[in-house]
């Protein structure tokens, strides 16, 4: 009885949240979903990018970001990648699939999403935050590296920037979450045994170095361990900080795989329960509002 009641309540909560999402189709046929907080003038905008083979609605359901973002006063948009089917991808230069093969300019597309969201919904175009999962993480870090003038902070989960071909053009705060046992996007770089597209990816260390190279001088490094639950994994929190602000943060999930911790499918995919990615992302972004 209790379990049935909980399922009903969660279903109603999910439906109410979905009702707040608006679908916007641009002139070229590409689209994004967006939810805007009530009573907030010129809200900052979070761009949340689905993984390869995903789509905006799927990522919105799985990530657990929308309600918390709205409560914190952010607008949140879920742009759509491209593909011949519902399996959509992003062109993050070295990955992935249709978008990469077709040379889709997804940096320009995200520029259009920001411009359109400003016109339609009054978001602040100079307070843009971006996050993503897997191929979406690659794209989020690519966009941040290319647009440091407008991106206040970026958070990537289980996907690494193509450091060989994409230069970080200016200082952007970075949160990167990655499992050491990820066999799709290898923590140490190279071609993962479970990689569908067989991309030779950058290592997490290379990504951290790329963002640290243009970060403010005088950062202090600290390392702590997060392990509130007995899930067979521990998380190392590496932070580079200045004046009480964490500029670069890496959550290294020891034994963690290719997943979004705390998401709707996290338990099914064996994600750590030591933290929720959505909570950590919003906490990190909150330093740079």
pLDDT at 16 over 70: no
pTM (2 decimals)? Answer: 0.93
Q: What is the average pLDDT across 126-152?
A: 98
pLDDT tier at 2, thresholds 50, 70, 90: very low
Task: List pLDDT tens digits, range 69-107.
Answer: 999 999 999 999 999 988 999 999 999 999 999 999 999
15 φ, ψ (degrees, to nearest 5): -65, -40
Task: List pLDDT tens digits, range 177-222.
Answer: 999 999 999 999 999 998 888 899 999 999 999 999 999 999 999 9
Q: Radius of gyration (Cα) for the chain, nearest Å?
A: 18
Mean pLDDT of the chain: 93
**Domains, in order of start, for the chain:** 12-286 (3.40.50.1820)
Alpha-carbon gap, residue 256 to 253, rounded angstroms: 5
pLDDT at 4 over 70: no
What's the CA angle centered on 168, arms 188 and 175, to 5 degrees?
60
Alpha-carbon gap, residue 189 to 126, rounded angstroms: 33
Least confident of 99-113, 136-150, 172-186, 264-278: 264-278
Closest to 46 measured CA to CA, from 175, 166, 132, 106: 132
> What pLDDT was estimated at residue 18?
52
pLDDT tier at 10, thresholds 50, 70, 90: very low
Alpha-carbon gap, residue 88 to 30, rounded angstroms: 11
């Amino acid at each position: 009885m209790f379990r049935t009641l909980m399922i009903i309540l969660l279903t109603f909560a999910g439906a109410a949240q979905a009702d707040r999402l608006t679908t916007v189709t641009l002139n070229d046929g590409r689209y994004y979903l967006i939810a805007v907080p009530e009573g907030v003038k010129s809200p900052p905008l979070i761009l949340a990018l689905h993984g390869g083979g995903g789509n905006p609605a799927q990522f919105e359901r799985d990530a657990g970001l929308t309600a918390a973002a709205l409560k914190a006063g952010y607008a949140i948009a879920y742009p759509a990648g491209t593909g011949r089917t519902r399996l959509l991808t992003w062109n993050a230069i070295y990955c992935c699939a249709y978008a990469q093969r077709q040379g889709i300019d997804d940096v320009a597309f995200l520029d259009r999403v920001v411009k359109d969201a400003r016109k339609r919904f009054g978001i602040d175009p100079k307070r843009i935050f971006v996050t993503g999962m897997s191929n979406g993480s690659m794209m989020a870090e690519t966009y941040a590296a290319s647009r440091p003038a407008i991106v206040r902070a970026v958070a990537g989960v289980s996907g690494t920037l193509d450091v060989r071909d994409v230069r970080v053009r200016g200082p952007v705060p970075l949160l990167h979450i990655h499992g050491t046992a990820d066999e799709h996007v290898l923590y140490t770089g190279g071609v993962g045994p479970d990689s569908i597209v067989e991309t030779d990816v950058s290592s997490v260390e290379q990504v951290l170095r790329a963002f640290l190279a243009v970060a403010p001088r005088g950062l202090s490094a600290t390392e702590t361990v997060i392990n509130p639950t007995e899930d067979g994994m521990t998380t190392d929190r590496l932070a580079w900080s200045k004046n009480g602000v964490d500029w670069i943060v890496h959550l290294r999930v020891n034994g963690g795989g290719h997943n979004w911790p705390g998401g709707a499918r996290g338990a099914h995919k064996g994600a750590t329960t030591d933290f929720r990615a959505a909570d950590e992302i919003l906490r990190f972004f909150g330093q740079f509002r």
